A and B are shown apart, each in its own frame.
Chain A
Amino acid sequence: KAGVTQTPRYLIKTRGQQVTLSCSPISGHRSVSWYQQTPGQGLQFLFEYFSETQRNKGNFPGRFSGRQFSNSRSEMNVSTLELGDSALYLCASSLGRNTGFGPDTQYFGPGTRLTVL
């Protein structure tokens, strides 16, 4: 099976611009989660989509949004970029089942390195 893919891998933007990142999950996975990773804050959860619906959301401002398509592919959008948005953005997919023992194993993509100048 192909792994989780993310495009683009690297991106340079300037303050005030907006950006869209894409994630293709493992075939058969219905859940896609997005994380922001920075040296100072570590890995922070942005949101999770399951069957085209946002199921969980982290504590990020409304400039961060996402969506999921019927084929489970997901996009994340950041509007009005700020310098502090520079980070590695990771996408993870899983089956998204509710087993009663918490979330399934997540499989991560290689990430998109966003630099805001």
Chain B
Amino acid sequence: GQNIDQPTEMTATEGAIVQINCTYQTSGFNGLFWYQQHAGEAPTFLSYNVLDGLEEKGRFSSFLSRSKGYSYLLLKELQMKDSASYLCAVRAQEYGNKLVFGAGTILRVKS
């Protein structure tokens, strides 16, 4: 996606914690979304941040720093089923307030 960067792949161990980073450059920022996409399936919504700080939702948390153009998704107590691609998407006035997606980070959880 336009100026949205995520690592291509990550590997972590079952039960561990993993942090997936997303950096972006845009004008008129209006929200950052994280989606989970299992192989061969549709993306499903995980989290939304528009203000700075941490949003916690069970084992998943998402953090945003607007001044740094930075977000991360934190997954705790990793399970094998968390193996998936994690997509960062930014909504901004520059994009006509539509979502622009990063290329996604493939997370592999090993036992």
A and B are partners in one complex rather than unrelated chains: no
